[in-house]
Amino acid sequence: MAPAISISLNDSSDVTDFVIKQGHGVKGLSEMGIKSLPEQYIQPLEERLMTRIEPQESIPVIDMSKWDDAQVSNSICDAAEKWGFFQVVNHGVPLQVLDDVKKATYGFFGLPAAEKIKYSKENSSSNNVRFGTSFTPQVEKALEWKDYLSLFYVSDEEAAALWPPVCKDQILEYMKSSKFLIDHLLQVLMKRLNVNEIDETKQSLLTGSVRTNINYYPICPNPELTVGVGRHSDVSTLTVLLQDNVGGLYVRGNEGEDSWIHVPPINGAIVINIGDALQILSNGRYRSVEHRVTANGSSNRISVPIFVNPRPQDMIGPLPETLANGEKPIYKQVLYSDYVKHFFRKAHDGKKTVDFAKITN
C-alpha cells in the first residue's frame, strides 16, 4: 500500500529524509506511484546500460548432477578463468529452500518503514546487521535504485538475537544448504591451482567469513536513467547468487568495452561468481568480473547473494602454490578488512578496488 505521505520530489533533502532517514527506501518512492525519477538517481550517461548483447556469447550453465566427473570440474575452472561467472543446476540446494528465502526477502521488505529502520546503520544494535539503500549514499554522486539488508554471520546465537525474525531462519537455512556446494566448488578450483588439500588454514582463508545480502529493486519510473547496481566486482572469494525470474543482471563480456552479457534467469539455478579475493589468491588466473543490474520499469526484482570471504583479519595475496612454477606475483599481501573497507568507502567504480592490491613498480 502507498504510504500516506507526500514529499516534494524536487527537494533532494526531502527525498533523502524519506528514503534514508525514515527507512522507506526506494521501495517507498516506487509505491507512492511517482511518475519521474528524483534527480539524485539520474546516473551519468556512461553508467546507464547500453546493452550490446552478444548472441554468440553466453555464461556457461553447468549441470552439477555428476559432481565428481572430471568434465564438470573442468567446466567449472574454465568458466572461472574465462568468464568469472557461471550458473549451476542440480546443485544440491533444495529448491524449497530457494523458494523460502525468496518469500522471506519479500517478507522483510514488506515490513513497515518504522520496522526496517531499526536495522539501519544509525539504529542497528550491531554493525553486523544493516538495512540500507543504494551502496554508500554519503559518497555517491548518483544513487542506485536498490534497497538491501546485509547480514554478517557470526553465530546461530547472534543471528537468533539480532537478525530480523521475518527472514532469519530462511536465510540461515539457505546459507547452510549452500555449504556443500561452496566447499565443492572451491576444492575443484583449488586443484587447478595445485592446491590438492584444503587444510584448516586454507579453509578459513577461503571461507572464513560469510555475508548474506537480500536486495530489493522496486519498479522504477525511468529505468533507462538509472541503475539497480552500478558496475562493480565483488570483494568476496566467491559469491553464490540467487535471482528471481525478472532478469537484469549483466556481466562484462570478453569482446570489448561495451560487451555486456545478460545472465538469464533459469528456474532453480544458482549463479556463481568469482570475487576479488580469489582473483588475488589465484594471482589473476580466476577472474573477478564486473557486473551491473539494470532498473526495471514494470517488475519488482529481488536477489540474494551469499558472499563467501576470507576473515577480516586474514592477509590475502597470491597463494604460494600458484607461484611455485616461477610465476611472478602481480598482487601483494593485503589485510582483507582493509581491502573491504576500501571498497565500501567509495562509490562503485568498476574494477578499481583491485588496484589496492596490485604490485606497482
Ligand X SMILES: O=C(O)CCC(=O)C(=O)O
Ligand Y SMILES: CC(C)(COP(=O)(O)OP(=O)(O)OC[C@H]1O[C@@H](n2cnc3c(N)ncnc32)[C@H](O)[C@@H]1OP(=O)(O)O)[C@@H](O)C(=O)NCCC(=O)NCCSC(=O)/C=C/c1ccc(O)cc1
Distance from C-alpha of 112 to C-alpha of 28, rounded to nearest angstrom = 10
Please choose, out of 97-105, 149-157, 185-193, 226-234, the segment that lies near Fe ion by the rule CB under 5 A. 226-234
Per rule CB under 6 A, is residue 218 in the interface with ligand Y? Answer: no
Q: Which of 71, 88, 38, 86 is nearest to 289 (CA)?
A: 86
List binders of ligand X among 183-222 (CB under 6 A): 213, 215
249 binds, among ligand X, ligand Y, Fe ion, none (CB under 5 to 8 A by kind): ligand X
Please choose, out of 90-98, 110-118, 185-193, 234-242, the segment that lies near ligand Y by the rule CB under 6 A. 234-242
243 binds, among ligand X, ligand Y, Fe ion, none (CB under 5 to 8 A by kind): ligand X
Query: What element of type H or E holds 75?
Result: helix 70-82
Cell 549451476: give the residue: 88
Distances in Å between the Cα of 253 and the Cα atoms of 67, 88, 107, 112, 279 are 27, 19, 35, 40, 17
Distance from C-alpha of 5 to C-alpha of 230, rounded to nearest angstrom = 29
List binders of ligand Y among 267-296 (CB under 6 A): 275
Residue number with CB closer to Fe ion (184 or 291)? 291
Residue number with CB closer to ligand X (84 or 318)? 84
Distance from C-alpha of 34 to C-alpha of 220, rounded to nearest angstrom = 9
Rule CB under 6 A: choose which of 87, 212, 279, 303 binds ligand X.
Answer: 303
List binders of ligand Y among 138-167 (CB under 6 A): 150, 152
Distance from C-alpha of 154 to C-alpha of 266, rounded to nearest angstrom = 31
Distance from C-alpha of 170 to C-alpha of 307, rounded to nearest angstrom = 16
Rule CB under 5 A: choose which of 234, 244, 276, 290 binds Fe ion.
Answer: 234
Residue number with CB closer to ligand X (213 or 283)? 213
Q: Which three cell numbers stand for residue 137?
A: 549514499
Please choose, out of 25-33, 99-107, 176-184, 241-249, the segment that lies near ligand X by the rule CB under 6 A. 241-249
For residue 307, the minimal CB distance to ligand X (Å) is: 7
Strand order from edge to edge, sheet including 85-89: 61-63, 85-89, 270-274, 238-243, 301-309, 209-217, 147-152, 129-133
Per rule CB under 6 A, is residue 312 in the interface with ligand Y? Answer: yes
Per rule CB under 6 A, is residue 340 in the interface with ligand Y? Answer: yes
Rule CB under 6 A: choose which of 234, 244, 276, 314 binds ligand X.
Answer: 234
Rule CB under 6 A: choose which of 93, 249, 261, 274 binds ligand X.
Answer: 249
Site string for ligand X, 278-297 (x = CB under 6 A): -------------x-x----
- Residues near Fe ion (CB under 5 A) are 234
